[in-house]
Amino acid sequence: MRLSPTRAIGAALLLGAAVAVPAVTAQAAVACRVDYAVASQWPGGFTGNVTVRNLGDPVNGWRLTWNFTAGQQISQAWNATATQSGTAVTATDAGYNAAIPSGGNTTFGFNATGTGTGSTPADFALNGVPCTGAPVTPTPTPTPTVSPTPTPGPRNTFTNPIKSRGPDPWLTQHGGYYYLATTTWNSTITMRRSRTLGGLATAPDTVVFNLAGRANGCCNMWAPEFHLLDGPNGKRWYMYYVAGQNVADFNPTQRLHVLESAGTDPMGPYTFKADLGGDWQLDASVLRHGSRLYLMGTYNPGTQSLFITPLSNPWTISGSRVRLSSPTYAWERQTAAVAEGPEPLYHNGKTFVIYSASACWGPDYKLGMLTLTGADPLNPAHWTKHPTPVFQRSDANSVYAPGHNGFFTSPDGTEDWIVYHANSSAGGGCDMNRSTRAQKFTWNADGTPNFGTPVRLGTTLTSPSGESAS
């Protein structure tokens, strides 16, 4: 799931593109300065940062355009949506940063192919108006005749668990609601939604798809994930899940499958789209790198390992499966050697995969981390494994086997959160008694995630920033 990164880090090569921008209609006195910087470079690519500083009237909704030189092509952006046609680039606000007050600024970044040196982007324009090169005097505003805006009230709070019987959770914040799906271990895929994170604990489960009668996957539904991706008819939700046959020894029959929504409501309706492979695979997720999609999951080529496979669209495999990583460290092999549940995480131009390690039926199930340190996600040598776990059991907090995680952002886009399941005793198993929990995480100075320690059930936590009061 893609997070909106905050500020990029690294030494910046300031190229000094100082510009002023007139306003669009009804904003007659707006100007800005644009600072463009190359934060880092590597063979064949670079990371760029852009800061728009408002020197005039407030802007509410922005679109910044400029021209690159030939050979420079944006592949990924954060804190903005970036598109490119030829050398012409358009970056639009990400919604939560649409407003730029007088004297304020907004920053976004991107990864691009080509070289970041030797040329400065030209012809910056804001909201279609060419830059003029000078600040302007803000338009006077009349004295307000209304009462001052009241001070915002206290933020919501919640306690874990947010679902008591909720293994393998997937949580998305979309359109003012939180949506949560978890393993059901039966023939249904269910989802619950709530305006508040804490409200998920009592929200009803709604069946969004029934698997009954499907020969290749009628039963034993595990690990649902739903991603909003480009389909042939525009944006659609694609629901990836595991299901198998109604037999006593069902585990060998478990396979990956995908559904497609009819519109942009995460709760569907959904129709069956495709089977994804014909052998034992679990824990599907989708990695986005540049303009490409990749299917990730776990399989067993002798030792349960992580895999990655290219996709030509959200439901079609277009290349060979590659073993990405196997459990080699002792902490990945407690109770049993397992690597599963890979989940992409993006921050300031870096791509991580957070995965679950060791046996889910033991108390030492935990999270490990891979970092993409090369350019090709299909090349295992371009990934670097962190030598120690990044999230693990806390006996002091009575949290055991924390794993099978996902990520989401706060409603205002300023906070990053992890969702995961765990047990409350060392004797807990790999079953429906695992509960869904969520907590905020931060970032280390080197740009890697800091998930902290799993919190004790019942601890009062501040809800995500920007959450509705109801």
340 catalytic residue (yes or no): yes
168 is catalytic: yes
Which member of 168, 415, 416, 467 is catalytic?
Answer: 168
For the chain, what percentages of helix, strand and coil (3-state, to nearest 5) are there? 5, 50, 50
CA–CA separation, 316 and 275 (whole Å): 9
Parallel/antiparallel/unpaired status of strands 383-385 and 366-372: antiparallel
Catalytic residue among 340, 364, 415, 467: 340
CA distance linking residue 254 with residue 265, whole number of Å: 28
- Taking a C-beta distance cutoff of 8 angstroms, is the pair 411, 196 a contact? no
Q: What would the DSSP string read from start to end of 396-456?
A: GGTBEEEEEEEEEE-TTS--EEEEEEEESSTT--SSTT-EEEEEEEEE-TTS-EE---PPP
Rounded to whole angstroms, the Cα distance separating 295 from 319 reads 10
CA–CA distances in Å: residue 164 to residues 201, 208, 314, 424 = 7, 20, 31, 11
Strand pairing report for 339-347 and 435-443: unpaired
Enumerate the active-site residues.
168, 340
